[in-house]
Amino acid sequence: MMLNKPIRHLFTALLCLGTLYSSAQVSCDPVFPNPSDDVTIFYDATLGNAALVGVNPVFIHTGVITNLSTTPSDWKYVKTTWAVSNTASQMTNVSTNIWKKSININQFYGVPAGETILKLAFVFRNGTGSLVGRDADGGDMYYDVYPENGPMQTLFLSPTQSVFLKNIGEQIPVKAAASVSADLKLYDNGQQIATATGVELNSTLSVTTVGLHKIEVVATATNEADTASFIYLVPEVLPAQDPPTGTGPGITYLDNTSVRLSLYAPNKQIIYAIGDFNNWIPNPAYQLRKSLDGKTWWIDITGLTPGQPVRFQYLVDGTLKIADPLSTLVLDPWNDAFISPLTYPNMPLYPSGKTTGMVSLIETGQTPFNWTATNYVRPEKKDLVVYELLMRDFLARHDYPTLLDTLDYLEKMGINAIELMPVNEFDGNINWGYGPAYHKALDKYYGDPASFKTFIDECHHRNIAVILDVVFNHATGASPLAQLYWDSANNRPAADNPWLNPIAKHDFNVFNDFNHESVPTKVYVRNCLQYWLSEYKVDGFRFDLSKGFTQKNTLGNTGAWGAYDATRIAIIKDYTNTMWAVDPTAYSILEHFADNTEEKELAQFGTMIWGNMWGSYKDVALGFSSATAASLAGINYKQRTWTVPHLIGYMESHDENRIGFECKEFGNSAVADYNIKSLPVAMRRLELANALFYTIPGPKMLWQFGEMGYDFPINYCENGTVNPDCRTAPKPIRWDFLENPYRKRLQNMITALIQLRTNNPVFSTTDYQLSIGSGAVKSLRLNSPNMNVHVLTNVTTSNQNATANFQHTGTWFEYFTGATLEVTMTNMSIPLKRGEYRLYTDNFVALPDGITFTSSIEPTGNVSMMTVYPNPGTTEVYVDFSMDQQANIQMDMTDIAGRIIETRSFERVSGDQQVLWNIAALPSGCYFVTIRDANGQSVTRKLMKQ
């Protein structure tokens, strides 16, 4: 190394009062680099996860962390390309497993002037990138960069991490450095043990006493002083002792000032609790005691202040810091700063500078929540109408108080259950939630516990159930269950991990696969389920990828792992029985998609099964010959030979492309005056599909904004492009769709259907006949002593004569129009226009208040979706509109007095249109743009000229 100028930093990987700052496997010459320096970066492949031991050649992948990075891991100015071997990424071999790369920091990264480099960021790889050298915890590696002409720096070069020693008598080689020549003094718990003059101090510590040792090096130079420190521990030998009877895993509140912590961690050597109660410094008073079987560690923490939040972690074997796996709230150093105080008022602060990683939050003496919905009646399974939503894409504020404000809207629709996509702690903030880290902790991005309970309580006042989407198939690497037993070399759970499989045992897995045959996993899942049911009074769970609750390894046999699996069934029944022991009527809903014999057995047991019917209903809506061929029989639980209506059918969920988008992009446009790609016709096709959906007995689910014909694709990106990488990216929140008459009519129609089925028992009858297989006309009959229903639909794009099969002659009532039909013969012929649907009842049923429908099933008017922008405008504005069919149109611009400023005439084909209008010469003021078609239909929009 070059030592011809003062040492300025070597891998700041030391513990400063227990805080590990960076990676020991990376060092740098000069030791304290400035942004303008020529530096040589050294990588020791034997350290960290040691994934590149013996690999030759080795390549660097590097960027920087700057003052403009949004998170501590937000790399910028990456100058190397993954799996590309070139001069920028090639490293030079120094000796066995030691590699170097020489650069000038400013020149190599090209960071603009005015932006400050804080750290260099690295991972290392082989030529293809199949092997990656990372930190010991699987993370990226970082190296501090110091400002030009900064103050003197002092730190330890050795040891490079916290020192955990088992035996008295061991020795610790110590090397400390300063950035300028100084007087250096070494202290052990305040007692001076060595001195030196210059830029380096070398010494050896002898371990002689049990307990906590704080080692400091104090550097003093002219007008400058600096101190660096690390700690080491010599643990006491505590006799094994089982925790008191009744102690459960995780955090147990004993009284208003004390808690018991219990961590399942077999084969660990020593564990301390660190937190606000000991200033984050491990000491013998907070050493956990081991159970007699050596698997559980526990401690009682006393003297806490009632009502005062307390932050803590476990320090495992001297190096690993984790939050409790069964935390109910955690603090996140990377993402909490981006949560608005409107969303989570008075959120406790992360203990920055005192520790790293996720932190558990506890609070003794909390005031119990006042639950007031004492007369709540949970909807029966057969009657459920579930509204699935992702708060992030449903509400701009994405919090529980705002969601509570939407309950009037949902209740008016007739929704009696809300299914929330995961609200437990997941990686990041902007997320669907299917990357869970803490299954029992409420994610703060949507709000605080009190707001969530208030929302649930109000739902129950309205007899609306709240169902949580939970993800027990897997856990991310941020989960302490993964971190406790992690194979860094292979970047996966270790072979001895009690909860997680090193390699997934089934297809389609993501992240780290749970072993549900493991007793610790069962204990963990049961504890989480019991907590949400008792603490938050939720009504049940939708289990994501429940088919993954198996150890059957069928990788490579696509679909085979969906075959009947008795062990998986037993696991699911066990979890469901755990739920029912807390709440006997709680819903257990499975995203299963397995063999029908398995789904049938689970349905008969009492769980409910997701029934994906997207493909068939999409085909009906698109209006090609596939609409005639489409069979909707799968929506019928009897078709599956089930005897209980436990199939939750749906046309869309979070996982499917929106059928509104499918119509807009791919609908049948071959019929000139019936273009399904146009908005008015597309919305009517969605009405048709819904008429064949909600009328069929059995619980139903709809995805948020489906009632408005939401038509942004699932892969829509925030910049307006479409890319599979944007599948889980935020989507536009379009409550303004209700201002569009065609979308509002669809929402009215679905509201009317839901209210009809909710208020009339015939829609849960077991006596019904369906004719919903292939055919131009699809129909159904529902029979009961009090009312009969007959639904007729024409799914084609041409007129049809339908032969009805009414239950009896007499007067029937068409629900949407109120028109009467005198049935003189049960098999009478009824003409149906293209896409027309009719819903007949033999008792008159009024539409819900405020909802009316015209008698025409055909879209009315030719021009729709008119928008003028930018508005206000200055020089040019665009007029966008849609036409259902080719026609001559006239466009007028008038002033506020009605005087025509300009008139234009066009012949336009059907579809979306755009006209550019130059308004630069117009005086400032208010104008109106009107479009008229040959039939006299018109649409007008106001324009403000600046």
DSSP annotation of 921 reads: T
Stronger pLDDT, 856 or 469, i.e. the higher one = 469
Distances (CA, A) of 205 to 169, 170, 889: 10, 8, 92
Burial classification of residue 612, based on how many CB atoms lie within 10 Å of its CB (0-12 exposed, 13-18 middle, 19 or more buried): middle
Please tell me the distance from the alpha carbon of residue 937 to that of residue 888, in angstroms, as a whole number.
12
Q: Look up residue 828 and give its two tokens.
A: 């009478």
1 pLDDT more than 70 = no
Which residues are CB-contacts of 658 (< 8 A; sequence separation ≥ 6)? 652, 703, 706, 710, 711, 712, 713, 714
Chain segment 454-494, per-residue pLDDT in tens: 999 999 999 999 999 999 999 999 999 999 999 988 889 99
Radius of gyration of the chain (CA): 34
Confidence of residue 10 (pLDDT cuts 50, 70, 90): very low
pLDDT digits (tens, 9 = 90+) for 822-841: 999 999 999 999 999 999 99
Token representation of residue 470: 């939970």
Calculate the CA dihedral of residues 147, 149, 153, 159 and round it to 10 degrees: 60
Q: Which residue, 35, 41, 39, is CA-closest to 111?
A: 35
Can you say whether residue 559 is alpha, beta or left, with left for phi > 0 and alpha for psi between -120 and 50 degrees? left
Per-residue pLDDT, averaged over 557-570, amounts to 81
Instruction: Yes or no: say if 747 and 755 are a contact pair by the CB < 8 Å rule.
Output: no
Mean pLDDT within 834-852: 94
pTM of the model: 0.83
**669-715 pLDDT per residue, tens:** 988 778 899 888 899 999 999 999 999 999 999 999 999 999 999 99
pLDDT per position as a tens digit, 66-119: 999 987 788 999 988 888 888 889 999 999 999 999 999 999 999 999 899 999
- Is the separation of the CB atoms in 164 and 232 below 8 Å? yes
Strands (E), 554-676: 587-590, 608-612, 647-650
Instruction: Please compute the mean of the pLDDT values over residues 567-581 and round it to a whole number.
Output: 98
Distances (CA, A) of 508 to 422, 557, 708, 924: 19, 11, 32, 60
In this predicted structure, the answer to whether residue 910 has a pLDDT above a threshold of 80 is: no
- Helix H, strand E, coil C: the string for 748-800 is HHHHHHHHHHHHCHHHHCCCEEEECCCCCEEEEEECCCCCCEEEEEECCCCCE
pLDDT tier at 382 (50, 70, 90 boundaries)? very high
Q: pLDDT tens, 724-758?
A: 999 999 999 999 999 888 899 999 999 999 999 99
Q: At what angle do helices 741-759 and 679-691 cross, to 10 degrees?
A: 10
CA atoms within 13 Å, Cβ hemisphere of 806: 23
**Do 890 and 907 form a contact (C-beta atoms < 8 A)?**
no
pLDDT at residue 916 greater than cutoff 90? no
State the amino acid at position 743 in one-letter form. R
Evaluate if residue 291 carries a pLDDT over 60. yes
Tell me, rounded to whole angstroms, the distance of Cα 532 from its chain centroid: 18
pLDDT digits (tens, 9 = 90+) for 603-613: 999 999 999 99
Whole-number pLDDT of residue 855:
41
Determine how β-strand 465-470 pairs with β-strand 417-420: parallel
Using a 10 angstrom Cβ sphere, with 0-12 exposed, 13-18 middle and 19 or more buried, the burial of residue 356 is middle
Taking residue 769's Cβ as centre, other Cβ atoms within 10 Å add up to 12
pLDDT of residue 683: 94
Cβ pair 689, 750 in contact under 8 A = no
CA distance 230 to 189: 11
pLDDT at 21 (0 to 100): 34
Q: Which amino acid is at 832?
A: L
What is residue 24's predicted lDDT score, i.e. its pLDDT?
65
Q: What is the largest CA-CA distance in the chain?
A: 112
Least confident of 20-34, 93-107, 198-212: 20-34
Phi, psi (rounded to 5 degrees) for 528: -65, -45
CB atoms closer than 10 angstroms to residue 932: 18
Mean pLDDT for 589-593 is 96
Q: Among 755, 931, 739, which Cα is nearest to 851's?
A: 755
**23/851 Cα distance (integer angstroms):** 65
* Cβ atoms of residues 841 and 821 within 8 Å: no
Q: How many CB atoms sit inside 10 A of residue 398's CB?
A: 21
The Cβ of residue 924 has, within 10 Å, a number of other Cβ atoms equal to 9
Token pair of 159, please? 């040891």
Which of the residue ranges 15-19, 504-508, 549-553, 779-783 would you say has the lowest mean pLDDT? 15-19
Partnered with residue 132 across adjacent β-strands are: 125
